[in-house]
Structure 1
């Protein structure tokens, strides 16, 4: 990182902090209440009540991360995406739940407040928050955020080890959603940086944790590209009309991005080894996508992309996402017309689409998502889409239960696409307590395979993964 870049980051951070001080005090913020309210302690629980039978094949860690601010001076200025990161983990082994832990991600401000030493490693980013995803890569556990701070390595008990872009010396903005190529083991990410509003980057991390590719792709207005997708040969770039907003920043938003009707909505296909001049762009009606599910190539040069679509985003609220309408759609990126053909598969509110990641970039049958109702925090079921038949099935966790992101774990390396388990952290709105629920993927309508009572609250948050031992 150059001296100019470091100065720009410090200046941006100073400006955002001071503009937020101008926001009138307001004790009310929906992202600090109910199921989203932060917890104020780090816990270790080993006496875990289990109902049912934990499959002995499940040996590993179910990790989840989300915003959990230590201190909020003015709730009226708080944005959900900017809360201090907290990692939650449940470790399973030999059919037993060994422990649950939650730990704050050790960025400098958190460690200082908790009286802990500064973690080693380089720093970057105007905002010191790492709170969006947690993955296993290069044999270790990494907490991630987009467009700002570097990843943070966590150990097997969720303690912070170091900061850095995996094992690379590169200090560039990364993504919360890299996607692993099943053939090469490389992570592919599309990364944006508010300091560089005229380009995004395709960044590739090899299986050993080294940066092996960085390609600049020209864009305009500084779009927020939260996620991407990969096919067997290409990377999908979602250049949609949520862009950097000076107006939002001047209003005191810590996340200065907003709906921009002047920004042309388009989707790009970049060859995995290609340059920016090889991107094929496909126009699409204005909308926003946080999370694609999966994508794959078609023989005629077109591609299929399944996505959760928001009609608009960051159009009103300065505190978090507001969804006027949400649909699950199949997009065909038509090579002949260079337009996106949209087919609505479901109009039910949902987010966090997942699938059997052994099939990343390939045709697949089942997509899983979590029902959402952010405004009312109502019970939220697991949703399964059969993409061959169009049938939609549900697993309802209970009359007051809401599931977070669901992770599919196959029974074995060569088992069928629906032969495995669906694991998620589930919040009981009536008791303000959390569980981990294991559902048999082949029997969504049946009783859960196992329910592990954590005895604590795990606030509804962002993303997580299964990291096998």
Structure 2
């Protein structure tokens, strides 16, 4: 594992919509100290995009896969890879038909596994007094996508709403939501397996009786 990754905690910075990486130090007695913010670099510039709370690390190569989503403007979904050196090595625009809240992903030796699930952005929820502008829409399909990890990125053009999207193989399923994945791998026949905890329906009002 790359040393710099051993000391990082990834979190989304909702104020600047940029990747906020907190560098941590774990002492021998188990105490965790915050060193400070560590900025991801894309060339000579700081990476400007949204960043997942659950990036995936390849223990063999030291690479880290991440994704981010946006509600207000295209691209609604993007992804990227951080090299073992700590530099953002490539980025991809992911073409999705509508914005959703996405919390986790998966990674195998060859693929990044993307979740485009129908917890959809709905600004009317704000007008109704709800805290979060998202709502689960059971009439839409859940979609799981496979992105080849060695696919060339689109570079800085990821900020362009007309940037060419990466080719993703999507698989559609009946509607569900999932916060977290548990594991992903490829078997000897090349099939991708994904383990995750699913909700057949979901509402952020946890006190509501379904």
**TM-score, normalisation: structure 1:** 0.36
Deviations 1:172-210 (A, max 9, x none): 111100000122111101211223355311211112221
In 2 relative to 1, CA 196–183 (structure 1 residues): closer, same or farther, beyond 3 Å?
A: farther
Q: Quick check: 1:209 aligned with 2:86?
A: yes
Q: Quick check: 1:173 aligned with 2:50?
A: yes
Q: CA deviation at 1:225?
A: 1.2
Q: CA deviation at 1:284?
A: 0.8
Q: Distance in 2 between matches of 1:206 and 1:322?
A: 44
SS at the partner of 1:151?
strand
Query: Which residue does 1:312 correspond to in 2?
Result: 201
In 2 relative to 1, CA 274–143 (structure 1 residues): closer, same or farther, beyond 3 Å?
A: closer
Instruction: Spell out the pairing of 1:433-444 with structure 2 (5 A cutoff).
Output: none
In 2 relative to 1, CA 206–237 (structure 1 residues): closer, same or farther, beyond 3 Å?
A: same
Instruction: Spell out the pairing of 1:157-196 with structure 2 (5 A cutoff).
Output: 158-159=33-34, 161-162=36-37, 164-165=39-40, 169-196=46-73
SS at the partner of 2:61?
coil
Q: Distance in 1 between matches of 2:127 and 2:74?
A: 18
Query: Which residue does 2:7 correspond to in 1?
Result: 140
Query: Which residue does 2:179 correspond to in 1?
Result: 290
Q: Quick check: 1:251 aligned with 2:118?
A: no
**TM-score, normalisation: structure 2:** 0.75
Note if contact 1:197-1:223 (Cα within 8 Å) is conserved in structure 2: no
Instruction: Spell out the pairing of 1:205-354 with structure 2 (5 A cutoff).
Output: 205-274=82-151, 276-314=165-203, 317=205
In 2 relative to 1, CA 198–283 (structure 1 residues): closer, same or farther, beyond 3 Å?
A: same
Deviations 1:367-416 (A, max 9, x none): xxxxxxxxxxxxxxxxxxxxxxxxxxxxxxxxxxxxxxxxxxxxxxxxxx
Q: Distance in 1 between matches of 2:207 and 2:13?
A: 16
Note if contact 2:10-2:55 (Cα within 8 Å) is conserved in structure 1: no
Q: Distance in 2 between matches of 1:188 and 1:323?
A: 37
Note if contact 2:76-2:98 (Cα within 8 Å) is conserved in structure 1: no
Q: Distance in 2 between matches of 1:321 and 1:149?
A: 32
Note if contact 1:146-1:176 (Cα within 8 Å) is conserved in structure 2: no
In 2 relative to 1, CA 154–279 (structure 1 residues): closer, same or farther, beyond 3 Å?
A: closer
Q: CA deviation at 1:262?
A: 4.1
Q: Distance in 2 between matches of 1:273 and 1:286?
A: 30
Q: Distance in 1 between matches of 2:167 and 2:189?
A: 17
SS at the partner of 1:196?
coil
Mean Cα deviation higher: 192-201 or 159-168: 159-168
Deviations 1:403-457 (A, max 9, x none): xxxxxxxxxxxxxxxxxxxxxxxxxxxxxxxxxxxxxxxxxxxxxxxxxxxxxxx
Instruction: Spell out the pairing of 1:22-33 with structure 2 (5 A cutoff).
Output: none
Q: Quick check: 1:151 aligned with 2:26?
A: no
Note if contact 2:10-2:54 (Cα within 8 Å) is conserved in structure 1: no
SS at the partner of 1:248?
helix
Instruction: Spell out the pairing of 1:45-194 with structure 2 (5 A cutoff).
Output: 137-138=4-5, 140-145=7-12, 148-156=17-25, 158-159=33-34, 161-162=36-37, 164-165=39-40, 169-194=46-71
Q: CA deviation at 1:150?
A: 2.8
Note if contact 2:143-2:170 (Cα within 8 Å) is conserved in structure 1: yes
Q: CA deviation at 1:256?
A: 1.6
In 2 relative to 1, CA 311–262 (structure 1 residues): closer, same or farther, beyond 3 Å?
A: closer
Q: CA deviation at 1:254?
A: 4.1
Q: CA deviation at 1:149?
A: 4.9
Q: CA deviation at 1:246?
A: 0.8
Note if contact 2:10-2:52 (Cα within 8 Å) is conserved in structure 1: no
Query: Which residue does 2:160 correspond to in 1?
Result: none
SS at the partner of 2:86?
coil
Q: Distance in 1 between matches of 2:38 and 2:197?
A: 32
Aligned length: 186
Q: Which runs of 5+ in 2 are unaligned?
A: 26-31, 153-164
